[in-house]
Amino acid sequence: MLGERHGAMHEAVGRLFAELPEWTVAHEVTFAVYAERGAIDILAWHARTRSLLVIELKTELVDIQETVGTLDRKVRLAAKVAAERGWQPATVSAWLVIAEGSTNRRRVAEHATMLRATLPSDGRAIGSWLRTPSGRFTGLSFLSDDRPGSAPAGFSGVRRVATRGSSRSRVPRRSDDRPGSVGANPGPASRPKARRESV
C-alpha cells in the first residue's frame, strides 16, 4: 500500500513537471558518495538557470526531525550526484512534498516553528519558483490525490501549508548559498513535455 501511494505521488509530481518543459526530471536517483548511500526521490534540473531541485516525497510523517535531516543530507550531496549526469548546478534547492491527510497535517502543525525555519516556503511559492527559478528555494507543501476513484485521503494539486489565519491555495498548474523558470506556457496542443531521464 505504501509503495502504491509513493508511486502515485511520483506520478502526480511528474504531471506537474510535464507542464514545465525547461525542467529535466529523474526519479529514484540512487547515490553512493563515500560512505553515504541512498536515493533521491526526484532530482530536477533547469539547465538555463543551472538550478537543481531535490524533491523528497513522504506518504506518512513519522519522525519529522529524521525527515528533515535526511532531506538536508540529500541536498548536501546533490551537487556531486548531479555532476555524474553532467549537470553543474549554481544552486541546490529542496522541496518536501507530503501526502495530504489529517495525521500528516497535525504532525506538521506540531513542529511548525522548526519547519518554518528550515523549509519556509509553501505550495504557492514553489509554483512561482518552478516557472522562473531564481536563487535557492526551500519549502514544504501537501499533495492531494486527483486520480479517478481515489479515496479522499490520497494526494492532486499541490497545496500550501496552512497556518492560523491563512487559507490553503492550490499551485497554479499552468502559465516564476550553496549549490543547492519558465516563461509563459504555450497552448495545450503545442506545449512540449518535460524530459524524463532513466536512472
CB 51 within 8 A of CB 93: yes
Integer Cα distance of 133 and 25 in angstroms: 15
Residue 30, CA atoms < 13 Å, CB-side half-sphere: 4
pLDDT of 42 above 50: yes
pLDDT of 191 above 50: no
Tell me what the mean pLDDT of segment 152-175 comes to: 39
Q: How many domains does the chain have?
A: 1
- Domain containing 122: what range? 2-197
Average pLDDT, the chain: 79
Q: pTM of the prediction?
A: 0.74
